[in-house]
Structure 1
Amino acid sequence: MRFQPGSSFLKILSKLIPVLGLASFYGIVQAQTIKHDTLSKTSVQIAEPWKPDFDVRSDIVMVYGVDSTFENRVASWRKHGYNVQFMTGSAWGEYQDYFNGKFDGKTHLNEGQTDIDGNIIWHGKDVPYVVPTPSYINYLKQACKRAIDAGVSAVYLEEPEFWTQGGYSPAFKSAWQAYYKSPWIAQDKSPEATYLSSKLKYQIFYTALNEIFKYVKEYSAQKGLHIPCFVPTHSLLNYAAWGIVSPEASLASLKYMDGYIAQVWTGTSRVPVYFNGLMKERVFENAFLEYGTIWSMTAPTHRSVYFLTDPIEDGVRTWEDYKKNYEATFTAELLYPTVNKFEVMPWPNRIYLGKFKPNEQSAPEPINPQFATQMQIMVNSLQHMPVTSNLVSGSHGISVLIGNSIMFQRFPKHQGYDDPQLSNFYGMVMPLVKRGVPVQVTHMENLGFTETLKGTKVLIMSYANLKPNNAAVHLQLAKWVKNGGMLIYCGKDDDPFQQVSEWWNNGGMHFKTPSQHLFKQLGINPINGREEYTFGKGKVFVLRENPKQIVMQANGDEHFLKLVENAYNTGKGIPLAYKNSFVLNRGPYIVAAAMDESHNNDPLLLKGHFIDLFNTELPVVTSKTIPAGTQALLYNLDKISNKQPSVLAGASRVSDESITIDTYSFVTKSPDNTKNVLRIRLPRKPKEIKATNINQQNVAVENNWDAGSQTLLLKYENQSSGVKVKLTY
């Protein structure tokens, strides 16, 4: 991300022996220890050595950057029980020794990405964004070697980013000559030069990561190790919106790449988008789509993925703003039921020790204690968040096609072409998401995988904002339609990038636009005024309207929605259902969001017996009203089938659990100077509550017994070194 500077899911492994009932069982087994699942589900990234003030007790810590303190920083986290891994930037970093000549005797500032005016594009002081040359690639290999020698268990090369306004440096000109075998052309000269420049930027980082990861695998194998390699990356949507080119989906097919971290957070998701003629922030909806673009890169390729969200962000906002949008992005990431690995926060030192305004009228202050507690409740729920076969509520089977080339048409503008706020993408998705349809994203780079279109009944696409990377895309789409798929094509094909020199108009191809080649494979010749065509068992719907027009004007989506409804009803035989909410049940957790700007703004009402996990009091409620524009995370008490004592929710990591006939004990750990709150299920009201620290000193505890739910609420000061709690009942 832009700023640089315990135990796992608990389960009872032994089974209760049904001998003469529970009391007899406790008479036979005097103590039962709760063992730990060793799955690494949660992580943080940090450049600082361990400190109790931000000891968040995730499974993994990704120690950031290699410098003179690296080995000591690794040792400090490993000493406190963390699985230590390594992260560093692939396009930037504190690599001053490389740029000033200390690495190989040569200065390398001429490798910085450069804009049209000859200015280096800086990430920070003396930290340029880099064109990855062979010497730079070798530098990163040596950084990875040092990390492997220090005993890290994985390598993360984050953010392979090339700015669209870059492409004027000597290093990039040399790369152009080597790749295209022709003299460099300034990207501002024509649409084709822009397109070719972006393709090269994409290819440069694709090649660099492949080479570095290959080295990591081979070097670690020599040491008898298997070191996984990951790419932490923003979503394709965010990179396109911010004017950045990156390999994105293509990396999923690399032999030496094991997975991604989806770097989605309030800073990326708050990018304003158009809907119903109004441009504004729509953080929840945008986050839902951002996570979807990265989930769809991994699902058909079976690569691993961690979802990240950040309780704050790089931009200076208020604690009030951070809280609202953290809840939005956190909810969005949990709506993907097959993902249960999370980077729970980046830069915890910035969160716990930084100062920000509580609201616009206030002076900067440290983190609000209530927000810290709420954040820790949310983070610790991720340790227990299960994968589920349940689906998000709503009509499933609608996807939107996307591709890496959505990044290729962003800068500069040509012949009046513009795609404000990626509206040619959001025009195809926002009208549906806002109506409670869980639209998914399909990457054209993954169409060759058999699972890519599995479950998709209606596929919506446009070439107004991107172009197909090869002819195989159209062959794959035609096969899918022929077998019964419903394809909706939106676009006038009138942007200047339609005529760039590409596969559809050279090498024996003579198509004016890529869609002409697609339509030929589909056996159709779209006629003005006609929208519906049959191909095999499927259908093709052609809407000669650029998708941006659907959202950039009020009520511009009416005809589009009728077309989607027609395709969906034909494809599935059931009507497309609209609502203003999403709900997903994940084990005992209920993830829910209610949206505004929908066909209605009604609140979402859930009834049952819940613990409200966004409330620092962890109240037990029998109903939850979720106003439009807000979200909720609930623990469903009605889903508890195991009556054993257990911590159901809390602002600390729980370990060392033990149960006897009349006691339940455990240890909690969380950052110093934060407040813990726990909701604990017990068979009956406790007779004695005792809490002690590592020095056997008593810890003051507040408690409250809720007879209706048979749960105990405890409150006390967290300690990183641990607080042991023993409950006697």
Structure 2
Amino acid sequence: MYSINRSEERTGFQERVPYHPAIDLQTDFVMVYGIDDSMPQRIQEWQQKGYITHLMTGVAWGEYQDYLYGKVDGKNHWEEAQKNRLGDIISHGKDVPYMVPTIAYTDFLTQRIKKAVDAGVEAIHLEEPEFWVEGGYSEAFKREWQIYYKEPWKAPHESADAQYRASKLKAYLYKRCLDRLCGELKEYALVTYGRELRFYVPTHSLINYTQWRIVSPQSQLLDLPTIDGYIAQVWTGTSRTPNVYKGVTKERTFETAYLEYGMMQELARGTDRKIWFLHDPIEDNPSYDWEDYKQNYIKTLTASLFHPNVWHYEISPWPDRIFTKSYPKKDGTGKEKIPASYAATLLILMNTLRDLKQDFIEWDGNQDTIGVFLSDSAMFQRSPLDSSNEEVSQRYDGTKVDMLQTDTAMELLHWSDFYGLTLPFLKAGVPIRPVQLDNIRRFPSYLDPYRTLILSYEYMKPESPDIHLALSQWVQEGGCLIYVGDDSDPYHQAKEWWNQGEKTFTNPAAHLLEVLGIDQQSEQDMHAVGKGVVHLLRKHPKQFAQSAEMAEQLLTAVKRTKEAGKQNDIWEEQNYLLIRRGPYIISAVLDESVSEQVLQLDGLFVDLLDDQLTVHKTINVSPGKQSFVYDLQHQQDSQRFEVIAASSRIEEAEVEQGQFTFLAKGPLHVPGVNRIKCPEEPKKVSIATQPGKYQEADTEWEPDSHTLLLTYDNHPDGVTIQITL
């Protein structure tokens, strides 16, 4: 729990307002948001408080009115705003359209961001490179089509081919924008200041972008050497998007977040790129009460902790809206600011996250992770070809995505094609991970961690045929592949590699079967290929979301495949997930699962979700709930002091002649709470808000755990605590 060198940048947050002691969260870095006249001053203020400073700005949208209205170069650039089929501008707010990333727009962003480089930031975050599926009708996009495809523009809604190719172009344009911008600014920083500048892309998950019908470069960013990493923008606002399981439509925040974070880690797995997982204690929608925010925040937070390869976090966007703003009371009688208990809990968790880099990782129960493939191309086929644009139009108003309440629109939003292949396993306590299909051709050993993989081309397509060569090799070496599909997807007709050239195929699955050596006319469902097995499940993946019987059918099919492949580690179905990361235990009990049994943990634990850091001998977790605890019996040295958890950043800790002294720093108005392991009950505990002026502290000794609970008033400049045995 002790302060880690800020240079590791394990935790940070983004903020648009100037420094204020109430939002001094004591992270390693801060992303100053937005480029305006106040930016250099805001950067300087945070730097003076010891923060590493980055800059964040929107790449697809922002306060770019000077460019739009011709104040930059004398030209009006509104034709570069994204437009839908009806000619409406797709907007993030008044005078804030989503942009087509033309060369001119990219050059404007480059010049604008130079101001941040001049102000001394160490890194730039270009957030949300987004092109809406319903876009593609502006004059700027038509020109880009003509340049890229060497033919006149085609309306995306006219055919599967036009829609698919329009989306591919949208992803390419933002990839080009980022590569050009980052390359030029890296050179500028090195030539002008002799400073290496880093670039990161904060982006929603591929799952969410597909669900919300947005196109973004996603895994294509791996091909850009100018990109240093990412922020996984997963939060309550994305993860509470409803989906369907066993025919029931509802929010499944934990499960969706688990899959989203799992997808995002694929942007960094096998590379040296850094990725931060985002959490948001509020979310963009201001209409919920504090209890709702808290429960959903806990779901997303714990979901992220089931991915132990990631241990960097953006602990909050916009702390100003969390710690200074008011939100509706649960009884509807007005608004209230954040309860002190929730504020303290948040700071406990935010400080604990710096300690999640742990060597000891252990899963409880099922060990064999099943992978479900997902490709960038899933974003390319999200427009129904038999519906009008009005029937599926959507808007993001800064708080949420709204779609028209038609059957087509809701089916798109629920995206049962993907959730039908994932939720049945997750709800049965089986670790399942999204796997980036496109990465097979980027990394030769990418599939090595998996023995069982599920693939469907009914909601995505493979980028190139060589993917099938790698898949075939993986199967022949002993892998179990379940292919799910009924060949009904209209996007099989897009003009792509499988139906072009001298030898053509009706769909990419037909090429896969040929590479695997499987007769396409065979009525047999199970096929031995080398040392492995291929199971052809001739159904559309969305069917497995429609009923309990279909969900069970999918589980049975995968079990059969593993048995045929002589994989003897058939999973044991259970209603929970549990992982140990060093002394930390994270658990989640699933509802809609195999039982309603309560998970009971016995031992000696500190509850990190409790603002009083209460010590328990038993932790009970009910279905639909999650827990995050510190295991006091995990390799503890009983003869040393140890800060177990605190709502403060702990610095300058030292032990001398039975006396433990440290500095605790935290934001103003957030209660200071600290649970400390001691060799024996202290004789004296003192606290000083000024050097040398100590007074007796408020404490409570817990004899069973040999821990001390210490409470005080947080302050950004720190309070000194002295414990004497």
Q: Structure 1-normalised TM-score?
A: 0.93
User: Deviation of residue 105 (structure 1)?
Assistant: 2.3
What percent of counterpart residues are identical? Answer: 40
**How many residue pairs get matched?**
698
2-structure distance, mates of 1:532, 1:389:
39
- Measured against aligned partners, the alpha-carbon deviations of 1:23-64 in whole angstroms (never above 9, x if no partner) come to xxxxxxxxxxxx857422101011111100111010010111
**8 A Cα contact 2:685 2:696, kept in partner:** no
**2:128 maps to which of 159, 178, 181:** 159
**1:430 maps to which of 418, 423, 426:** 423
**8 A Cα contact 1:693 1:699, kept in partner:** no
Matched, 1:718 2:714: yes
| 1:600 paired residue number | 595
Look up the equivalent residue of 2:278 and give its one-letter code.
Answer: L
- Measured against aligned partners, the alpha-carbon deviations of 1:424-447 in whole angstroms (never above 9, x if no partner) come to 111111100111111111111100
Secondary structure at the counterpart of residue 693 of structure 1: strand
**8 A Cα contact 2:133 2:214, kept in partner:** yes
Q: 1:586 to 1:100 in 2, by over 3 A?
A: same
User: Deviation of residue 603 (structure 1)?
Assistant: 1.2
- Measured against aligned partners, the alpha-carbon deviations of 1:128-180 in whole angstroms (never above 9, x if no partner) come to 11101111111221233221221111111110000111111111111111111
- Measured against aligned partners, the alpha-carbon deviations of 1:56-96 in whole angstroms (never above 9, x if no partner) come to 01001011111111100100000000000111111011122
Look up the equivalent residue of 2:424 and give its one-letter code.
Answer: P
- Measured against aligned partners, the alpha-carbon deviations of 1:239-283 in whole angstroms (never above 9, x if no partner) come to 111110001011122111111110100010001111111111111
Q: 1:572 to 1:694 in 2, by over 3 A?
A: farther
| 1:582 paired residue number | 577
Matched, 1:629 2:624: yes
**1:281 maps to which of 240, 246, 251:** 251
Matched, 1:535 2:529: yes
Matched, 1:704 2:700: yes
| 2:494 paired residue number | 500
| 1:193 paired residue number | 162
Query: After superposition, where does 1:109-148 map in structure 2 within 5 Å?
Result: 109-148=78-117
User: Deviation of residue 212 (structure 1)?
Assistant: 1.2
Look up the equivalent residue of 2:338 and give its one-letter code.
Answer: I
User: Deviation of residue 104 (structure 1)?
Assistant: 2.1
Look up the equivalent residue of 1:580 and give its one-letter code.
Answer: N
User: Deviation of residue 489 (structure 1)?
Assistant: 0.5
1-structure distance, mates of 2:696, 2:58:
44
Query: After superposition, where does 1:17-56 map in structure 2 within 5 Å?
Result: 36=5, 38-56=7-25
| 2:380 paired residue number | 408
1-structure distance, mates of 2:560, 2:271:
31
**8 A Cα contact 1:694 1:722, kept in partner:** no
Look up the equivalent residue of 2:336 and give its one-letter code.
Answer: E
| 1:292 paired residue number | 262
Secondary structure at the counterpart of residue 713 of structure 1: strand
| RMSD between superposed Cα atoms in Å | 1.8
- Measured against aligned partners, the alpha-carbon deviations of 1:647-667 in whole angstroms (never above 9, x if no partner) come to 111111111112111211111
Look up the equivalent residue of 2:514 and give its one-letter code.
Answer: K
**1:443 maps to which of 436, 450, 457:** 436
Q: 1:186 to 1:303 in 2, by over 3 A?
A: same
Look up the equivalent residue of 2:463 and give its one-letter code.
Answer: N
1-structure distance, mates of 2:215, 2:663:
47
2-structure distance, mates of 1:594, 1:362:
34
- Measured against aligned partners, the alpha-carbon deviations of 1:471-512 in whole angstroms (never above 9, x if no partner) come to 111111112112211110001011211111111001223111
| 1:24 paired residue number | none
Secondary structure at the counterpart of residue 300 of structure 2: helix
**8 A Cα contact 1:685 1:705, kept in partner:** yes
Matched, 1:682 2:670: no
User: Deviation of residue 699 (structure 1)?
Assistant: 6.8
- Measured against aligned partners, the alpha-carbon deviations of 1:159-211 in whole angstroms (never above 9, x if no partner) come to 00001111111111111111111111111111211111111111111111111
Any stretches of 5+ residues in structure 2 without a counterpart?
388-406
| 1:262 paired residue number | 232
Q: 1:147 to 1:420 in 2, by over 3 A?
A: closer
**8 A Cα contact 1:115 1:167, kept in partner:** yes
- Measured against aligned partners, the alpha-carbon deviations of 1:303-352 in whole angstroms (never above 9, x if no partner) come to 22111111110012111111001111000111111111111111110111
Q: 1:453 to 1:212 in 2, by over 3 A?
A: same
Q: 1:485 to 1:192 in 2, by over 3 A?
A: same
**2:40 maps to which of 64, 71, 82:** 71
| 2:662 paired residue number | 666
Secondary structure at the counterpart of residue 572 of structure 1: coil
Look up the equivalent residue of 2:557 and give its one-letter code.
Answer: L
**8 A Cα contact 1:113 1:169, kept in partner:** yes
| 2:2 paired residue number | 10
| 2:452 paired residue number | 458
**8 A Cα contact 2:211 2:412, kept in partner:** no
| 2:303 paired residue number | 332
Secondary structure at the counterpart of residue 177 of structure 2: helix
Secondary structure at the counterpart of residue 638 of structure 1: coil
Secondary structure at the counterpart of residue 104 of structure 1: coil
Matched, 1:350 2:321: yes
- Measured against aligned partners, the alpha-carbon deviations of 1:383-434 in whole angstroms (never above 9, x if no partner) come to 1112435243323231011100111111244389865611111111110011
Q: 1:302 to 1:486 in 2, by over 3 A?
A: farther
**8 A Cα contact 2:368 2:569, kept in partner:** no
Secondary structure at the counterpart of residue 501 of structure 2: coil
Larger CA deviation: 558-567 vs 36-45:
36-45
Matched, 1:367 2:338: yes
**2:633 maps to which of 616, 634, 638:** 638
Q: Structure 2-normalised TM-score?
A: 0.93
| 1:4 paired residue number | none
| 1:5 paired residue number | none
Look up the equivalent residue of 2:447 and give its one-letter code.
Answer: L
Look up the equivalent residue of 1:411 and give its one-letter code.
Answer: S
2-structure distance, mates of 1:414, 1:450:
40
Q: 1:132 to 1:335 in 2, by over 3 A?
A: same
**1:395 maps to which of 367, 370, 393:** 367
2-structure distance, mates of 1:410, 1:291:
22
Any stretches of 5+ residues in structure 1 without a counterpart?
1-8, 12-34
1-structure distance, mates of 2:269, 2:108:
32
2-structure distance, mates of 1:261, 1:37:
18
User: Deviation of residue 566 (structure 1)?
Assistant: 1.8
